[in-house]
Amino acid sequence: MTDFLFTNFVPSPARGRVLVFDSGVGGLTVAEEIRALGPALGVHYAADSDFFPYGDKSDEALRERLPRVAKMLCDHVRPDVFVIACNTASTLALAEIRAVLDIPVVGTVPAIKPAAAFSQTGTIGLLATPGTIRRAYTARLIDEFASGHRVIMHGSIELVRLAEAHARGEDVPIEAIAAAQAPLFEAPGGGQIDTVVLACTHFPLVRGQLIASAPHGVSYVDSGAAIARQTIRVLPHEAEARGVGGSAYLTSSPEESPDLALVLRRYGFPDAHLVALDPIEMTSAPMAL
């Protein structure tokens, strides 16, 4: 959700089963948007907690893992729509994930188009993970929708960790949030930024702190509401509500991640279940000793 004011909101009557996926808890911000727009949906959540965070993993490792994790989770949960609530995963492996699933897949991409339309100064900030910053997909979005704008980018794994800590209920100093986003405004031309794209689903978790610690008035824009609308749009017409949702699925044991389980409960997912990824099968016989 952006910090704009929307009126005349009408919830969708759509029914069906939705699985929202991320490496950690950032996708909970997207799950909230989907629940708000489609209160009759059964919304479930999955976190690849065994491989968190994605932002500092190699492209090769993610390309190998993501389709396997997506297929495993969907085979287990049987959703009508699979939502990749992660910019890093979407900008890298959206096509590969769609290739292994037989249901609609909704990805997450940086909200560059609405930011460009909203900016008055023509200077946009892009706050993301290092992985999203370096993606060719991100560069294409900028070329297509913000070619007449100056786009200043900053990739921060630290802000992901701070957002996770905040979601766990830890006391995160506002100075730490300020330091994490400071390079965006300290870059040449950063003083002209009037709109910042939150290109990681973790970042809306600390939207208030980002606003409070920005060096000047800035609007922060994310993709959550657009993802919710697209989820409703692609939902199969024959889908039925199979349960009200609220279950969570992790790739590591919930007992090993009590803080993560606590956050999931706070966001309306009281039941966390382990869904382990099978090891890759060997393609050749082991060497004889």
Burial label, 68 (beta-carbon count in 10 A; 0-12, 13-18, 19+): middle
Buried b (16+ CB within 10 A) or exposed e, 7-31: eeeeebebebbbbbbbbbbbbbbbb
Q: Are 108 and 30 in contact (CB under 8 A)?
A: yes
Q: Are 145 and 112 in contact (CB under 8 A)?
A: yes
Q: Are 45 and 82 in contact (CB under 8 A)?
A: no
Report residue 251 as tokens.
């790739």
State yes or no: cis peptide before 236, omega within 30 of 0: no
Annotated catalytic residue, options 200, 218, 235, 261: 200
Q: How many CB atoms lie within 10 A of CB 58?
A: 9
Q: How far apart are CA 45 and CA 57, in angstroms?
A: 22
Terminal-residue alpha carbon distance, the chain: 59
| 74 belongs to the catalytic site | no
Annotated catalytic residue, options 1, 19, 43, 86: 86
In order of 43, 171, 190, 192, the CA distances from 215 in angstroms are 37, 22, 10, 11
| 200 belongs to the catalytic site | yes
The set of catalytic residues is 86, 200
